[in-house]
Amino acid sequence: MTSLVQLLTEVRACTLCAEHLPLGPRPVVQADSLARILIAGQAPGRKVHETGIPFNDASGDRLRSWLGVSREVFYNAKQIALLPMGFCYPGTGKSGDLPPRPECAPAWREELLSHLNNVQLTLVIGQYALAYHLPGNGNSLTEAVQAWRNHWPHIVPLPHPSPRNNLWLKRNPWFEEELIPVLRARVSELITSDS
């Protein structure tokens, strides 16, 4: 089996779907075999593509707030692995960013996940990650998030933390009242001080 370091080098050099990417390939991923938390998102946005740092935008600010972690903890690969469904910015459509490129997950995901044997909590963010990690789990993202207790404490489905979801958050106050405090406590349990 390929080592995780070698695999990440291969992922970061990937050009599999280059001709479909408006800004060209720039795979953005963070992983270490010691990570106890996995964040399975959708795909990098334009700002993340520009910096090469996952969740380095308003979505990341909100996500870190939900988790109750600092940037230092969030960007420590030994604490948190960040594996979106697509590693490159897919471009923008009529209502936001396009879906993750379909070539990415089949090419890389299983092998990457096979190296993450210490993960005890997987945060599944958005419909594409939900379809992969919790297939057949409800008819909508809202239903899946409402049923978060069904997979607790190992998997937690979340809405995307994008500012575009402000209306969803306003319509679903239970999310920040019920789920977020419990999620923060779980994340705090899993964050180790010696990493």
Q: What is the pLDDT along the chain (195 residues), one digit of tens a residue?
A: 789 999 999 999 999 999 999 999 999 999 999 999 999 999 999 999 999 999 999 999 999 999 999 999 999 999 999 999 999 999 998 878 899 999 999 999 999 999 999 999 999 998 999 999 998 766 788 999 999 999 999 999 999 999 989 999 999 999 999 999 999 999 999 997 554
Q: Which phi and psi (to 5°) does residue 82 adopt? A: -120, 105
Q: How many of the other CB atoms lie within 10 Å of CB of 3?
A: 10
Q: pTM for the complete prediction?
A: 0.94
**Alpha carbon separation from 187 to 15, 29, 79, 80, 137 (Å, rounded):** 34, 20, 10, 10, 23
Q: How many of the other CB atoms lie within 10 Å of CB of 118?
A: 15
Residue ranges of domains in the chain, CATH in brackets: 4-190 (3.40.470.10)
Provide the CA 45 distance to its chain's centre, in angstroms.
12
